[in-house]
Structure 1
Amino acid sequence: MDQDRETAAGREALRRELLAYGAASRTLNEWISGARALALLRAAISSGIFDAARTPSTVGEISAATGVEGPRVADVCLALEAHGVFERDGESYRLSEDYAALASPDALQSLPDLLAKERVLGRALESAASSQDAAFTELTSEDASAMALGVGMRPSSPTARALWASALAGMAPELYGLWEGGARHLEIGCGAANALLSLLATIPRLSAVGVEIDGGAIAIARRRARELGVDDRVELRHADARDLDEEASFDSANWSQQFFPAEGRGEVLAAAWRALKPDGYLLATMFGEPPGSAEALREPTGRSYALDRLAYGGWGVPVLGVEELREQVEGAGFEVLRTVSPPPNPLMVSRGIMLARRPKT
């Protein structure tokens, strides 16, 4: 009898340990499942299986369209169905409603571009503890282009253009009115020109110059400008923003400061000050403030801030709060007018803007 009790007690102790381990690993298991699901989605896109299901298609039809053997296609389709990417109707598979929306040509961001950007950020996070990361300006052209394409909303989407224009009109109405009247605008660190081309496509009297240090990103920006039919109103320069030599030539400038390492930021701001006309406006995108409590840190926006701080900080970019950025901008001679933080947008690194002005004297 005593032995039976000991056996039962031992089994109960093991059961409790198993339950405790399961509870402790719940979040980790969710992360692992998410990583596997992303790997599956990337594989489906790169193999062509994802695109083949934009219209209802059987396993055999998808196999013929992609060149992937039938049994492998069947397994991929089953896994995609399990994760809500595909829906099945009889023998045919098609994109689910959510993924058809995400993969639409008019979606706010290209799904492959979004995944490519996250892969770059993932590598940055994996190496963040080593203190051996390259500066953002030293990323490979492939990675720099992936970041340039994946951050923000794509200018080919009418909805994205309208959202960006509406946000800026609300946050800086005096600046937006200036653009509508036919201003000359400077984009410092334009990347693949997501924001710049969206503005040009929305505001027909606006003209602009975009400056970008990465040659791959600027080539993409030039191609997109031609596709949108705004290339006659924009000059896209492959150059270091510190080398800008215009003086009092622009009515406004936007500085994507989240992509500028600590070294050289003062020179970039000095170049922006010279390039702006007296009373010209400077927009600076912001990381926003750190979470104010342990509870806020564990919220989705708090977790996003912490990961951005780690990744971008690893690239040598100072993750400045509002007052720190204000001090830097004012130290370059600008007058800060206000800061505005719109509702979070998961596609944007920016958590708001700082609007400043070059004084007349």
Structure 2
Amino acid sequence: MSTTGDTDPMVRFASAGTARSTLQAWADGAYVLHLLTAVRDKGWTAFLTESRSVEDLAAYSGLTPERVADIVDVLEAYGVVGRREETVRLTAEFAALSADDAWVGLDELLDRIELTARLVPATAEAGPLPLAESDALVVARSSGGNSTRITRALFDQLFLPKLPELIDVVRTERWLDVGCGVAGSTLTLAGLFPELKAVALELVPTVAAETRLRAAAQRVADRVDIRTTDVRDFDERDAFGGAFWAQPFFPEATRAATLATILRALRPGGLLFLQEMEPVPDQAARPAYTMRRLVAQAQGIPFGRTAEELTDETMAAGFEPVRVAQTDFGRIVIVRRPG
């Protein structure tokens, strides 16, 4: 690798060419994301869940067949659509991502990408990142996921068999979801276990309102009580057999008080579950990891705490360790209230 001290013109030219190629690769990915977002906004992704001709797309979009053909060429090159004879439609992968039963769908992902692209420049400015309620809803939708037959199957086959303690709790005792977002996990559990009785706490009114709509649509609103409140103001004591804390979304300044609230809310011996998020990746995935860390920490949110660090954090708040469970959703820390 050359340095800025190299004086050989050919070495400097080759070094600059490497940097140009890197920038172009970044730009190419950004361009296709902008195009995919644009055609999504115009309804193409929904329209292309069925096979369509270029002429069909031209009539639908109001563009010339030539322009449509060029757009289709790009989308095909990036694996978004595929051709068969004289028609085009979403590939199987993007059709699954766009389907109503997707865990996290194309719309949620594109909205989160657009939000992050807006936030990244602000990390180079002083002060916290500007997040509106609508932004919090985008984050909640793209992080919490939808409760669908897909998520129920994932939980039933891949997740819950590794967590028998959780199954016992939701079948017999009240469940507390702390920082629920759109409550994808709790609503999924409610669909799997008709015995479940839960309270879900969410700070942002817009997010809580959407979560209530989702609970009503799944006909579990009588069993999942969604409350708009700061967790630290929650005052039920000795009332829950188990709780889940969405710890990656809680700023450092709120974490100790939040854990104290959860400790009081659990009955003696009650269990708290936490998910390890963003473990340190291999070298190939590290560049994207560093960008996610930048955005999170610019919001004042601790990033990438390991299961061991989370165990230490909860023990400092008065919990006792139970175990760390390895699941297909990552490592789950299980601790309990003493007694």
TM-score range with shorter-chain normalisation? 0.7 to 0.9
Asked if 1:37 is matched to 2:32, the reply is: yes
1:335 partner letter: E
The answer to whether residue 81 in structure 2 is matched with residue 94 in structure 1 is: no
> C-alpha displacement at 1:40, in angstroms?
1.1
Structure 1 counterpart of 2:40, which letter? Answer: I
Shift of 1:75: 3.4
> Are the aligned partners of 1:152 and 1:195 in contact in 2 as well (CA < 8 Å)?
yes
Contact 2:318 2:337 in 1 (8 A): yes
Q: Distance in 2 between matches of 1:97 and 1:243?
A: 46
Unpaired segments ≥5 residues, structure 1: 1-12, 346-350
Change (3 A) 1:97 1:169: closer
Distance 1:91 1:62 in 2: 12
Equivalent residues of 2:237, 2:266 under 8 A apart:
yes
Structure 1 residues 167 and 282 mapped into 2: Cα distance closer, same or farther (>3 Å)?
farther
Q: Distance in 2 between matches of 1:66 and 1:17?
A: 47
- The equivalent residue for 1:354 is 333
In the other structure, the counterpart of 1:103 is 98
Structure-2 change in CA distance of 1:68 and 1:48 (3 Å) = farther
Q: Which has the higher contact order (CA 8 A, sep 6+)?
A: 1
Name 1:309's counterpart in structure 2.
293
Say if 1:342 and 1:18 are closer, same or farther in 2 by CA, change over 3 A: farther
**C-alpha offsets along residues 191-242 of structure 1, whole Å, 9 cap, x if unaligned?**
0111111111112211111110111111111111122121121111111111
Q: In the alignment, what sits opposite 2:151?
A: 160
Contact 2:123 2:295 in 1 (8 A): yes
2:43 corresponding residue in structure 1: 48
> Structure 2, unaligned stretches of length 5 or more?
1-7
Structure 1 vs Structure 2 CA RMSD: 2.5
Across the two proteins, how many residue pairs are aligned to each other? Answer: 331
SS of alignment partner, residue 269 of structure 1: helix
**1:117 correspondence with 2:112:** yes
Structure 2 residue identity aligned to 1:358: R
Aligned residue in 2 for 1:321: 306
Change (3 A) 1:289 1:64: closer
Following the alignment from structure 2 to structure 1, what is the Cα–Cα distance between the partners of residues 266 and 65? Answer: 61
Moved more, 245-254 or 17-26: 17-26
CA distance in 2, matches of 1:108, 1:17: 48
Aligned partners of 2:111, 2:80: CA distance in 1, in Å?
18
Q: Tell me, what secondary structure is at the counterpart of 2:241?
A: strand
Q: Which structure has the larger Rg over C-alpha atoms?
A: 1
Contact kept, 8 Å, 2:311 with 2:335, in 1: the verdict is no
Cα distance in 2 between the residues matched to 1:119 and 1:171: 35
% identical aligned pairs: 33
